[in-house]
Structure formats: C-alpha cells, structure tokens
C-alpha cells in the first residue's frame, strides 16, 4: 500500500497534488512519501515479530537521500553501507554508528579505517585478504573490529542476472565449502572478532524458495562453525525481497518472508541482521515527468517525456518495468512506446504498452521509483541531475536540489596548455 492516490481525478502524493510539485519545482522530479516510507518500515519490522533478536539495517544504496535516511533513522533503522560515502551519509542522517553494517566487495583500506574510526557495528568481510587487512588496521589502532564472513551459498536467486549475487560464479563472498577454513584463520587474528556469517543472494526476489535454501545452508554452516569451537552470535541474512512493479505482480509479502525466516532460524540462537532496501523504499517514490511530444511511430506513437535513462536507469539497464500512469487520466487508453530525450534507443521506458492516453503538456509518473532511482541518476547528455522531494501530509520539501548542467560544467576546466 502506498500514499500515491487519485483524488478528484488528480494523482496526489499524500495530500499534495502532483501538478503543484511540477509547477513549483519543475520536472522531472522524484517525489517520495514519508507516510509510505514509515508504513513500510513498520510492516517489515512487524513481519519479524517472531524473530527474538534482530537488527534491521536499511540498504542505503537503494535510496541514500539524507531526508529519507532521517525518516528511517527515526524508525530505529540502522544502515547497510557499501562505501565511505554511504557510511558518512548514514551518520549524517542520524543513524547510530553501532547500527551500521559495512558490506561491499571492494572496500579500500582507507574505508576500513574510516569504519573503525567511526565505530561502526559490523564489517561484512568478503574474502580472506580483506579480513587480514582489517585485522592489521584495527590492531594498529589498538581496536577490535567486529566482523562476519560473507559466504556465497551457490543458489540461483531466480532474478535478473545483473542483480544475482549468490551463485558460485558471482564475485560476492567466499564459497560456503571453504568458509570454515577461512573463518578459522580469520578468527585467530588479533584485532578481529569474527562473530558470524552474512549472505545476500540477489535483489528483486519473487520467490522465497531460493532464500530458504540459502538460509538452510547458512544454518548448517553455523552448526559446523560452532562444532569447530567458534562462538557464532550474529547472522546477516541480507536483503532482496521483491516488490510489485506491475499491477498484477504478487511477490511474497514481508509477513510471509518473516514467517519463513522465523521457522528456518528458530534454533540458531543468534542475532539476525536484515538489509532490506527495495521492499522499504521502492513503492515510496514516483518519478514525475511531463510529456514533451507525442510523435507518430512506424507502429505505435512515441510518447517523449522529459525524464530519461539518466534519471531512471533501471529500464535501460535491466529491462525493468515501471508502471506509467497519467497524473490526470482521461479514462482513454493508447498503445505507445514511452521514451526519453537521450540519444540512445535504450532510452526507452516502455515498448508498445497500453497506457493512459496522454498528450504534450500532460504530467505522468513512473511508479515504484523510490529504490534504485535517483541514486543511479547521472548527467548523461549534459542533462541536469534530477531533484528529489519528500512529502509529509500537506507539506513537502526539496530534499535534493536539481543540479543544473551548468553547475556540473563549472566543475570542469580546459587546460591552459591547449591553445
């Protein structure tokens, strides 16, 4: 459920009619709903009611906007971060350092040191050399790094290949077969407190089966590690739960996920960590855009909108589907391709899709754009960086400015040795 609803034929974000934001801020613009964000945070937490010891760390890569993070910090959420930049953002947004988990396959030594200096709660180690480096850095600072070892359970998440992470051939984690030896060596290092394991098999998962298979493997590994004398107190189950993008999509609910987790992990006696991203933020945002032109095509017309692949990259990158609806639908429908102004055929949001009939000057939105939307935006084609707005009831605020193409250009220089 979200708070983007039609009232008197006009799409609103909570109590704000979207045409007002378009008029005052311009388009394209991302619009987030605070009430939806808070609801999703609550629903996910409620879904884990049967998990006795838990910590939820929002995967901030999906929406690192400071305003969004502050809302989640107030909901008691920590952060899963994957870079020094994300780490500083989580802290700036008010997340407690000890509630931060540092994931990521290529952390630099400087980033590991930053994590220690900031006092974060946990490092998710991706391979042995990283663990050795972390131990050395911690020792030099006379500190102890709390860490878990990310394992690759070798299950097929059944999602898009570019966002699958838990197959043996993917770059993430250490093979579950070699995990006990590596864990044993790292656990012996001064400076490192190896307290458990982590896994994350992919994103936009639409079935619980691969997650359950992966968690069962993790459970067996916990038992093996304990049998080898290790104290295992934490298991990080990652994120990955899918959301509905199409009106008839029916991914597992947070409640179903929570029930499965509680069942599979009931005898583990650990603190479980969760790193949800999309399921929290996906449906909390839309990308508001204006129709620039409707151009006849060989088969169907092209609806050319002022948002493009640089603003919302998912369709171009993963052939992702985002629902496209008019802000003031007339009730008529048309079959059209929805495209942006960027000079690539890949700048296509929808091909030959039945959509609300629109014409030049109309406003429309791409739904389910709150996760992996603005954060993946670029300025390709020297377009401005898309702004973000957070709505709260009958008020809203720009939580990220539009960065004009001219501002980007001002940060460049022409060498004076080119005449």
Q: Which residues bind ligand LLP (CB under 6 A)?
A: 59, 62, 80, 103, 163, 165, 200, 203-204, 238-241, 275-279, 314, 318, 372
Task: Give the residue with the Cβ less far from ligand LLP, 55 or 314.
Answer: 314
How many Å apart are CA 197 and CA 87, to the nearest integer? Answer: 21
Give me the catalytic one of 343, 411, 414, 418. Answer: 343
Burial environment of residue 259 by CB neighbours within 10 A (0 to 12, 13 to 18, 19 or more): middle
CB atoms within 10 A of CB 352: 11
CB of 313 to ligand LLP, least distance (A): 8
* Residue with token string 């929290």: 280
Q: Would the CA dihedral through 309, 313, 319, 324 be positive or negative?
A: negative
CB 378 within 8 A of CB 343: no
DSSP H helices, 204-344, are 209-227, 254-264, 278-281, 314-318
Task: Give the residue with the Cβ less far from ligand LLP, 12 or 314.
Answer: 314
DSSP 235-272: EE----B----STT--PPPHHHHHHHHHHHTTTT-SEE
CB of 369 to ligand LLP, least distance (A): 10
CB of 411 to ligand LLP, least distance (A): 26
Per-residue tokens: 257: 């996920």
CB of 246 to ligand LLP, least distance (A): 15
Task: Give the residue with the Cβ less far from ligand LLP, 159 or 265.
Answer: 159
Task: Give the residue with the Cβ less far from ligand LLP, 191 or 239.
Answer: 239
Task: Give the residue with the Cβ less far from ligand LLP, 165 or 289.
Answer: 165
CB of 241 to ligand LLP, least distance (A): 6
Return phi, psi of residue 336, to 5°: -150, 165
Task: Give the residue with the Cβ less far from ligand LLP, 11 or 386.
Answer: 386
CB atoms within 10 A of CB 401: 12
Per-residue tokens: 56: 């939820």
CB of 140 to ligand LLP, least distance (A): 27
CB 13 within 8 A of CB 396: yes
The SS3 assignment for 370 reads coil
* Residue with token string 């973000």: 388
Task: Give the residue with the Cβ less far from ligand LLP, 275 or 362.
Answer: 275
How many Å apart are CA 154 and CA 227, to the nearest integer? Answer: 23
Does 62 participate in catalysis according to the annotation? no
Which H helix or E strand runs over 23?
A: helix 18-25
The SS3 assignment for 96 reads coil
Per-residue tokens: 117: 């200096």
CB of 150 to ligand LLP, least distance (A): 8
CB of 207 to ligand LLP, least distance (A): 14
How many Å apart are CA 32 and CA 281, to the nearest integer? Answer: 9
* Residue with token string 């911690």: 138
Task: Give the residue with the Cβ less far from ligand LLP, 77 or 396.
Answer: 77
Q: Tell me the catalytic residues.
A: 343
């Amino acid at each position: 459920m979200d708070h983007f609803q039609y009232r008197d034929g006009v799409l609103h974000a909570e109590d704000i009619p979207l045409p007002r934001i378009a008029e005052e801020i311009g388009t394209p613009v991302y619009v987030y709903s605070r009430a939806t964000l808070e609801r999703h945070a609550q629903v996910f937490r409620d879904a884990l009611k049967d998990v006795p010891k838990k910590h939820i760390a929002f995967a901030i890569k999906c929406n690192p906007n400071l305003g969004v993070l502050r809302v989640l910090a107030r909901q008691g959420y920590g952060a899963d971060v994957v870079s020094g930049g994300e780490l500083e953002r989580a802290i700036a947004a008010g997340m407690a350092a000890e509630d931060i988990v540092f994931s990521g396959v290529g952390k630099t030594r400087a980033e590991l040191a930053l994590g220690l200096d900031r006092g974060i709660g946990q490092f998710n180690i991706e391979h042995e050399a990283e663990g050795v480096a972390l131990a050395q850095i911690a020792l030099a600072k006379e500190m102890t790094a709390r860490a878990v070892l990310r394992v690759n359970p070798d299950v097929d998440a059944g999602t898009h290949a570019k966002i699958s992470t838990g197959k043996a051939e993917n770059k993430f984690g250490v093979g579950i077969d070699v995990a006990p030896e590596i864990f044993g060596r790292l656990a012996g290092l001064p400076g490192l407190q190896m307290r458990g394991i982590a896994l994350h098999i992919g994103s936009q998962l639409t079935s619980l089966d691969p997650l359950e298979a992966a968690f069962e493997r993790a459970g067996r590994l916990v038992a093996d590690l304990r049998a080898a004398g290790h104290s295992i107190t934490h298991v990080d189950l990652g994120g990955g739960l899918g959301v509905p993008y199409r009106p008839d999509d029916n991914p597992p609910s947070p409640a179903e996920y929570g029930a499965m987790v509680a069942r599979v992990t009931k005898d583990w006696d650990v603190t479980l960590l969760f790193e949800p991203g999309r399921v929290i933020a996906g449906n909390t945002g839309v990308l508001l855009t204006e129709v620039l032109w409707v151009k006849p095509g060989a088969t169907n017309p092209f609806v050319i909108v002022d948002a493009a692949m640089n603003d919302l990259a998912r369709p171009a990158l993963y052939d992702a589907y985002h629902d496209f609806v008019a802000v003031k639908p007339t009730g008529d429908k048309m079959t059209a391709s929805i495209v942006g102004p960027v000079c690539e055929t890949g700048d296509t949001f929808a091909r030959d899709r039945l959509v609300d009939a629109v014409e030049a000057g109309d406003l429309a939105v791409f739904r389910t754009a709150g996760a992996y939307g603005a954060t993946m935006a670029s300025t390709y084609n020297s377009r401005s960086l898309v702004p973000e707005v957070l709505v709260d009831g009958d008020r809203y605020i720009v939580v990220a400015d539009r960065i004009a193409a001219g501002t980007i250009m001002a940060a460049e220089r022409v060498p004076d040795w080119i005449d």
